[in-house]
Amino acid sequence: MPELPDLTVYLEALAPRVLGQPLERVQLTSISLLRSVDPPLSEFHGRRVAGLRRLGKRLVFGFEGELFLVLHLMIAGRLRWKAHAAKPPGRIGHAAFTFPTGTLLLTEAGTKKRATLHALRGEGALAAHDPGGLEPLRCTLPEFSAALRRESHTLKRALSDPRLLSGIGNAYSDEILHRARLSPVALTRRLDDPVMARLFEAMRTTLTEWTERLRRQTGTGFPEKVTAFRPEMAVHGRYREPCPDCGAAVQRILHAEHETNYCARCQTGGWLLADRALSRLLKQDWPRTLEELEERRGLAQPPSSVSRSASRSRTSRKPVL
């Protein structure tokens, strides 16, 4: 799912292309995309884009007359820009927003269509779509600490909760926790002030650095490769690859469709975190430490080529009758 750095670069790329431009036409090819009926999309035709903003993980297009289009890309939704009139592409196309300067295309890969578009009238209706989380790059350390300590949650859950923090999801929460050298399952109310300050600084540094990196990669073009899995990331999406800081294999926890990646050596003192399903399946056989895991993998290495050849030779012989 596009998060704060990706959405920031999207908005910066859209600004010179659509700000002040009238929306000529909206073409929808997916009936599941539009989640509102008033105002109708036809009311937006001919109105100029007055502003662009981010609301959590949503992109907001503000139009003349206090009309808003709120777009939530969800996991697989992506934006494409064509410097001419264009139609939504094939099976993955959701919508086309045509301006005098070009066409903004909304696509969504996969079979589960989750992206949403809301047409709204007035700031009050727009406010109802705000989850209420603090802006990570504008809040203060006391505000950040108070929000995280309001309830006792794991750090992974707290960082990606839109009611607490705006624009952080699965990918950047992993990166923030790795930079802060903190376990994803540490509880927010158990963090002392120095550790909370370290987490706050890691959050700001990670989001700022990634936003700058994506800006450099995009340049004056339009973001074409928005993904949650980037080779420059420290741990997210890098299961079993070496941690860039210590070289230990990156580990993971799986819960439903969400994956948490972490370095056991850097973040949990060498202890492995077991997800619920694997813990129940393996019970006492679940390795507790990174050293146990590496030892078991060593014991599970396949036999030498000579042994494998001999084994194949024995099993291929015909039985003696």
**Distance between CA atoms of residues 199 and 163, nearest Å:** 18
**Distance between CA atoms of residues 257 and 192, nearest Å:** 31
Asked, for residue 19, whether it belongs to a domain, the answer is yes
Is residue 100 located within the same domain as residue 199?
no
* Structural domain boundaries, residue 11: 4-127
Is residue 107 located within the same domain as residue 155?
no
User: How many domains, the chain?
Assistant: 2
Indicate the residue type of 206. Answer: T
Asked, for residue 8, whether it belongs to a domain, the answer is yes
Q: What is the CATH number of the domain that holds 156?
A: 1.10.8.50
CA–CA distances in Å: residue 201 to residues 23, 39, 207, 276: 41, 42, 10, 31
pLDDT digits (tens, 9 = 90+) for 111-158: 788 999 999 999 999 999 999 999 999 999 999 999 999 999 999 999
Asked, for residue 167, whether it belongs to a domain, the answer is yes
Is residue 123 located within the same domain as residue 71?
yes
pLDDT digits (tens, 9 = 90+) for 68-109: 999 999 999 999 999 999 999 888 999 999 999 999 999 998
pLDDT digits (tens, 9 = 90+) for 250-264: 999 987 668 899 999
CA-CA-CA-CA dihedral for 230, 234, 240, 242, to nearest 10: 120
- Cβ distance 93 to 29 under 8 Å? yes
- Cβ distance 100 to 21 under 8 Å? yes
Judge whether residue 228 has pLDDT over 90: no
Neighbour-count burial of 266, counting CB atoms closer than 10 A to its CB (0-12 exposed, 13-18 middle, 19+ buried): buried
